[in-house]
Structure 1
Amino acid sequence: MASQTKKAPPKGILKKPTVAASPSPSTPASAPASPSPQQKPDPREIAIQHAKIIHDRRALEDTITDSIILLAKLPATRPSSSPSQTTQTTTTTTAASASASASAPSANDYSEHDAELFKSHVRLFQPSDYDALIEERNALGSCGYGLCGRPRTRLGPGSGGYKLLNWGRRDFAIVPRAEAERWCSRRCARRAMYVKVQLSETAAWERAGIETIRIELLEEQEAEQERQQQQQQQRQRQQEVPEKEKGEDKAAAAAAAAQVARDETDRRQKAAKDAMDLALERGDTDKKRAAKRRINVTIREKKVVAEVREPSLATGGGGDGHLVLDGYKTKFDPKSETINGNKGGTTKPDAKEEEGSKATG
């Protein structure tokens, strides 16, 4: 029985490929839905668009070139005279230092209109465009800074490629000859570099639509710092007013205390002077001897010979008993004072009467 049973064949685990049923020729196949055909861009429109972009870029480059030509002639009002107009004929370092320091501008020699014109044209410059402006101004004999009307420095003939500026001073520097001749002074070089560091390497046509791009001048920054410093000083002065009043009160109290101390000193000096005057009256001229001098004082008890009796009025003393006080009788003699009727004066007692009265006493 076991041999007669058949085993089922094993089944594979892989999926069998399904054969797509070929459509019968009698039944027409349904056509698949085709997507909407994409409209191909017109090459002519693309060419025109690229041409417009290139045209705008060329126009902006032409505008920058015109700006360089315009800014090379700034400022509109130039100073009448300048210490650096005379050409240097010596190559000594002292002459170069003197010319650089003498030509330093003391105040802005341009108008507000020139400043606004300069900032509006420079804001789209690249650093290379700004260098081209400096070279254009140097070719015209002007200082490289766009708002300086002074001529650039001429160091005179010489084969040295470097120059020593401001020898013996704190701002001493060794600069290339070409760099030193681009400016009229080191201050103009700082002002020009302050503008250059604000420029971007990005292409001008990428920044043309950004209205927030602004260029600041070094003079404006210094003026703003000075204004803030003045405001801070004014606030400090306002804060110092109450402190000053407190200081005045403290000073008044200190003055009163000093006056009290002076009065005490005067009192002590007066007491010392009075003591010296008293010593002079006593004859104590020598202070050391007077301080060492001693007086021997001996206190002794009085010896009483008679018996102490209680005071009483003497019996039979006559009418002068009231003159006796504690055993002592007053020596007043009423007979010694008599009125002289003729002269209207008093008579003096005789010497004998006085001696008698002393004896009885």
Structure 2
Amino acid sequence: MDYSSIIDKKKARLAEIEALMGQLDFYDDNRKAGELLREHRGLETLTKSWDEYQRVLQQIADNTDLMKSGDAELAAMAEEELPGLQARILELEAAVQRFILPPDPLEGRDVIMEIRAGTGGDEAALFAGDLFRMYSRYAEERGWKTEPLEASPAGVGGYKEVVFKVSGDDVFSSLKYESGVHRVQRVPATEAQGRIHTSAATVAVLPEAEDVDVQLKPDEVRIEVCRASGNGGQGVNTTDSAVQVLHIPTGVIVRCQDGRSQLKNKEKALTILRSRLLEKKQQEEAAKYSAHRRALIGSGGREEKIRTYNYPQNRITDHRIEFTLYNLDQFVEGRLDEMVGKLQTAEVNDRLAEAGLE
């Protein structure tokens, strides 16, 4: 499909934003400025990808002509270059397609991630810990920042629950596919017979909510201070630093005791609460998606089995797109890019079909 007319409109919008960026009052409204800067970054990436797409397309045409020429040496060189050019054109086309679609208003957000041990007892807690480590490594690879918000360590290791924030460029657009049930098949360290067990952990990826998304009215929020409990380390059990926040209209409760500062625990609890309330709004919005896209990025529910980690076969399978890799040992070290790329492509293709832009 020829996207030239769409690209022309995008270039006009890019010039419009650049004119706004040159005005003295551009940063007077920080939130609006941030949105425009994110849009500018996407449009700039789109135009660069489109320009390179045109150049590579011309190179393919030139090489095809050279292959038909009478010069055997030039024809051989042109033929040798062609597979690389054809692979590159597919990459560039995917990038162009992704950026011509209307951006998700949440794309530029940081995220709150919640990992909870599911079925499988101690092994599920250990797997939750493995997932936390995997996402921490992935964030480190991408140059993102992780910040722990709340954790309930399990006695055997791992976590009953761990909540943390991930900040950086394109965080939500990369991690939003991780929500759901992650299943692991392996021999637990405590298994004397060497039998493979199946356990699970749930992951929730919540875009960090802003005040404009969720307004917390004072009369709808009950904040209680209490004594921290559990294995919090020296000192944590002797201070009334834990904070519990109840959102009265929905019944959502958030408890935070990760730090010794009561004020910081309150701020963290309110951050998590806003993101959980935004998640509820997202679940309602998800009903508008096509069936395929709803299956791909989830309905917002945490009960959907999305992925299986099979250790004996070094296999990782994403059930939404029926895609399998045989590098589980690298995947759990944070090498998620290939899987994330496949999920992004699948979503883009579905959105293009919905918009009639295939």
Say yes or no: TM over 0.5.
Answer: no
Say which structure is richer in strand. 2
Q: Which has the higher contact order (CA 8 A, sep 6+)?
A: 2
Q: Which range, TM-score by smaller chain?
A: under 0.3
TM-score w.r.t. the length of structure 1 is 0.20
Q: Report which of the two structures shows the higher radius of gyration computed on alpha carbons.
A: 1
Q: TM-score, normalised by structure 2?
A: 0.20
